[in-house]
Structure 1
Amino acid sequence: MNKRTKLPVAAEYEVGYGKPPKSRQFEKGRSGNPNGRPKGARNKPAKRLTKIRDMLLAEAEREVIIQEKEGPVSLPIAQAAMRSLIHKAVKGNVEAQKFILSSIAAAESDNERELLETLQTVADYKDGAYAEIARRKRNGVETCDDILPHPDHIEVDVRTGDVIFMGPVDERDKKDWDDLWARKAGFEEEIEYIRALLAAPETSEDINQFVQDDLKSTNNTLQLIEQAIIMRWNRPVREVVKDRSRWKETKLRIENGVWPERASG
């Protein structure tokens, strides 16, 4: 927040707005209104204005039915009014055109300002976090697990202005992050062991079928964990899924919001 610059004190006292003649000023320690103001007098206008504002906003959000070429459409009143105004502008109404153009310019200006503020906030955080990491390394401290979110895990979508966290943002999130990555590594090791067992010539047919079922179940659980990591922390598929042959399948599942079916048994 910018500090207000203090104005210099005038050398001579001037009479004007907020500066009555000295003979009419209140004496120190003596109230100018000994009877006090009526209870709640200061709050009533603000409450009334707030109530009116809330009523207007509620009315603007109320749904109405308008007739379009495709049939009746339900829209909030504010959106319906804006659509009507745009139709007038398209038909050549100069006042409507001016209003629409100025509204668009104002909206774009607000969006640009918000994006710049977001980018600056993220940049400031990253600079501070990287400086702290560098300071620790100089002092022989390699652990940075408590710096959350990690600066490498923060991105900004410049099209929308959304901040994207690609890793844990707090201690609770970090616990889940560590747990899921550890479980993923454990299931990957188990799959390697099962595949080695299946490749062994001494494995009997009965055991082979049992191991095949176990492999299917383990693979299914691994895919659930992989997808949870990708979707929760916006991680790239190729970083999380080791098996390249499953990249496309995993991407399609995520795009369609579909989870792997749990293995029965």
Structure 2
Amino acid sequence: MTHHPTQSPQFFLTAPSPCPYIDGQYERKVFTHLVGDKAPEMNDLLTQGGFRRSQNIAYRPACETCRGCVSVRILANEFEPSRNMKRVLRRNADLVGAVHDAEPTTEQYSLFRTYLDARHRKGGMSDMTVLDYAMMVEDTHVDTKVIEYRRRGPDTFITGRGEGELIAVALTDRMSDGLSMVYSFYVPDQEDRSLGSFLILDHIARARAAGLPHVYLGYWVAGSRKMAYKIRFGPQEHLGPRGWERHAEPVA
């Protein structure tokens, strides 16, 4: 008998652990590995099905008693910035993002470490070493890029890159139907820039310029202060039992 290798991924389930978003809840995740030539195609299908990527693993919540995590994607072509978002864009007009291959640098890690220590000292990533960071960036089998944001310089119009201090970094996957923001971080002491919002706005602009309809933001949890910012970027779709459905317009 001839045996043909299966193309179907194998899925695994994690043990319960305390939920980082809802007190008193326990989370479980279903996950699979993204490896080989089919990884980009599989990442597209799984992301469209509510999965997120971390290194070469795609995962999604599989909690027994809670369905609080909702996958969110922005409809980039229909997006119109609010007055506050326009102010954010103006405040960051001096920044430019340069796209690089998924290769870690010591400068990136230094900013990553500063960001974690200031914003997520007690989070699950707080003890990541430089090697952990390197794996987060380069352990990918899909089309992943690092976007580095710096201030514009006199040669930016030629080089497409900024100069000086590294202000922000985004780790981003390009898929067939959009951009997926895997992880981003930035200098924590320039709160007036609203850099987290700016990075999302910049990705919306990049998706539109590339003819991609969506920007995937990961999960939103109603009532979670950590996730509240995501709902402001509309129009957007949420993944539910009937598939992707348009969510009510946010208040500007």
TM-score range, shorter chain: under 0.3
TM-score, scaled to structure 2: 0.21
Higher relative helix content: 1
Compare the two structures and name the one with the higher strand fraction.
2
Structure number with greater CO (CA < 8 Å, separation at least 6) is: 2
Rg comparison, structure with higher value: 1
- TM-score where L is the length of structure 1: 0.20
